[in-house]
Amino acid sequence: MEKINSFLQFEILSIGEYKIRVFTIVVIFLVFILTKLTVWLIKKALFRKRTDDFDQGNAYAIFQIIKYFIWVISIGLILDSVGVKVTVLIAGSAALLVGIGLGLQQTFNDIISGIILLSERSIKINDILEIDSDIVMIQKIGLRTSKGLNRDEISIIIPNSLITTNKVINWSHQTKKPASELVLE
């Protein structure tokens, strides 16, 4: 046990007050392997064969968000194990993050609205919507935008926040006719 402990405490590199030991390399390796395994398991869970309406594009978008979140946490753990004070980095970058947050506020609003639309399912593919006095048949609901065709068969890209925050009439909820007949009338 003493040999293992002395091996783990062996210094590989020393720069000022930072010391990298074998134990640090083992921790970094374990965090990296656990992160890769976690991301792989989440990917397998999201992309397994499904019979419901869960689109592969939606699964990919959700997977990317989860993957980035997990990797940020892992990099924080790795930096902490090396001896870098992560709290100092976070505090130092707070002003930068506020600026980025203000700049991307509308994008985040659209993404959150997309998550609401995808999870709530109040609007589905082929639904006929009236948005800002324009009749649109929804073709695709993405994470940030939705795509629809108007009566002139012109493709319209609609920010998801427009659907969730404005008054939208869903004509498909009130009729027994197929959605394709509603567009042609």
> What are the pLDDT tens digits along the chain (185 aa)?
788 777 777 787 777 777 778 888 888 899 999 999 999 999 998 887 665 555 666 677 678 788 888 998 999 888 888 877 878 777 777 878 788 888 888 888 888 888 888 777 788 888 898 988 889 999 988 888 999 999 998 999 999 998 888 888 888 876 566 555 555 44
d(Cα 185, Cα 181) in Å, to the nearest integer? 7
* Element containing residue 150 per DSSP (H, E): strand 145-150
Sorted by sequence, the CB contacts under 8 Å of residue 83 that are 6+ apart come out as 17, 18, 19
| Residues spanned by the domain of 27 | 2-92
- On whether both 28 and 68 belong to a single domain, the answer is yes
Q: Considering the domain boundaries, does residue 28 fall inside one?
A: yes
- On whether both 87 and 17 belong to a single domain, the answer is yes
- On whether both 72 and 14 belong to a single domain, the answer is yes
